[in-house]
Amino acid sequence: MLSMAPLAAARKTLLSTALLSSLLLLPAQTQAAPGDAVWLVATLKVQGTSSSKTLFFRNRDVTSLQQCREDIQRGRLNQWRFYNPPSDRSLAAGESAIYRCVSAPLQLTGWIRFAPYRYTYEIHIADGRMTVEPRPSVASCLSSLRHSTGKQEASLNHYCTSSSQQISR
């Protein structure tokens, strides 16, 4: 009979290594600002294009950015505890998912898997805080982005995206 101990130990080492490496790249902020909610932002990017889709997830049991980040690490092993984003297996060819934890004073409609991505937003993330500005179209969003940053291309922290979720004010 085979022992499962080596597999469990390898999995634990992988999880702690992945957690440590991702935490080194994250800002030090761990708590949401007063009045803000903690959001898991899943951005699905198409390689070689500026096209992206963004999904916003909120779980009232998650009260800190650190708790959210830990769930991302669990999710990399397909063991999400608080969130239910699409798995990497459900992504289209050439698509990759980028998961981030942010705080924001937003109210958004819930994500529905097959709803059309008809809302366009300009997203800006700085120091773990996210601002979301509705834009009438991707073209106007890209124009606004170029004007505000002075750059031709978006960055990982300031970009235009489509979403199926609407801001409810």
Work out whether the CA dihedral 8, 14, 15, 16 comes out positive or negative.
positive
Predicted confidence at residue 138, as pLDDT, reads: 93
Taking only the tens place, the pLDDT of each residue in 20-70 is 334 434 444 566 666 789 999 999 998 888 889 999 999 999 999 999 999
What contacts 142, CB < 8 A, 6 or more positions away? 50, 154, 160
Asked whether residue 131 carries a pLDDT value surpassing 80, the answer given is yes
Q: For residues 35 and 32, what is the distance between their CA atoms, to the nearest angstrom?
A: 8
Predicted confidence at residue 13, as pLDDT, reads: 43
Cβ-contact 48, 166 below 8 angstroms: no
Q: For residues 11 and 142, what is the distance between their CA atoms, to the nearest angstrom?
A: 42
Q: For residues 109 and 35, what is the distance between their CA atoms, to the nearest angstrom?
A: 18
Predicted confidence at residue 152, as pLDDT, reads: 61
Predicted confidence at residue 3, as pLDDT, reads: 53
113 C-beta neighbours (distance < 10 Å), count: 9
Predicted confidence at residue 146, as pLDDT, reads: 87
Taking only the tens place, the pLDDT of each residue in 57-78 is 999 999 999 999 999 999 988 8
Cβ-contact 90, 44 below 8 angstroms: no
More confident residue, 95 or 122: 122
Strand partners for 38: 103
Predicted confidence at residue 135, as pLDDT, reads: 96
Taking only the tens place, the pLDDT of each residue in 80-90 is 999 988 776 67
Band (5; pLDDT cuts 50, 70, 90): low
